[in-house]
Amino acid sequence: MTAPPAGRAVPRRPGPDRDAALAQYQRRARVYDLELAAFEAIRRAALRRLAPRRGETVIDVGCGTGLSLPLLREAVGARGRVVGVEQSPEMLALARRRAEAHRWRNVELVGAPVETADWPWPGDAALFHFTHDVLQRADAVANALAHLKRGARVVASGLRWAPRWAVAVNAAVYVAARRSVTTLDGLDRPWALLEQRLGPMRVTTSWLGAVYIAEGSVP
């Protein structure tokens, strides 16, 4: 892993911690949408790369409060479907409230950890937006991809360590990560487990290297 900001101790954990993640998002759910406002441009850029089409089924992996749902469901249209998978009851409740308030018929929400979740609609595309903990679990990545069609498009996006010289940027990544994820492992190449299964991904970075969008497809 690329070094975190100088002088900061990095907690070493053996990968994502489900109980810690549930507690983290129980605390955070109420303020989550407000906190994510600054990152909305990244969501839109990721969705442009995913390019959902009319009639498709799109899986929103770790959908949180459902911030991507309006854009995704609009793109797939009435004959398409968006499936949001989320383990935090508090985050999922907000996604459900959003879907019910708008009477969205083409949105299905699955309340379960991605690693064990099941849904009967194989995806034409999948979005992993700001889902570092999910991306660091081989079982979660494998299960999500097992629910996609051959050739399905996959986009992962979020924060990563910037180059070592960008100390201030990495300090900001560290602060954001401590609030959002339960492991700092893999923050140099968060898409690595996906890439093991999909083959080489097209990766672009921005924000001095601290934001990535990785794109691939199911072989």
Interface contacts to ligand SAM, rule CB under 6 A = 21, 25, 36, 62-64, 67-68, 85-88, 91, 113-115, 129-131, 133-134, 140, 180
Tell me how far, at minimum, the Cβ of 171 lies from ligand SAM, in Å: 19
> Which is closer to ligand SAM, CB of 20 or CB of 203?
20
> Which is closer to ligand SAM, CB of 7 or CB of 11?
11
> Which is closer to ligand SAM, CB of 45 or CB of 167?
45
Tell me how far, at minimum, the Cβ of 106 lies from ligand SAM, in Å: 18
> Which is closer to ligand SAM, CB of 114 or CB of 213?
114
Helix 89-101 vs helix 69-76: crossing angle, to nearest 10: 50
Tell me how far, at minimum, the Cβ of 131 lies from ligand SAM, in Å: 5
Tell me how far, at minimum, the Cβ of 32 lies from ligand SAM, in Å: 7
Query: Do the beta carbons of residue 68 and residue 43 sit within 8 Å?
Result: yes
Please name which of 9, 44, 16 lies closest in space to residue 190, comparing C-alpha atoms. 16
> Which is closer to ligand SAM, CB of 85 or CB of 173?
85
Q: Which residue is nearest to ligand SAM (CB)?
A: 64
Tell me how far, at minimum, the Cβ of 22 lies from ligand SAM, in Å: 7
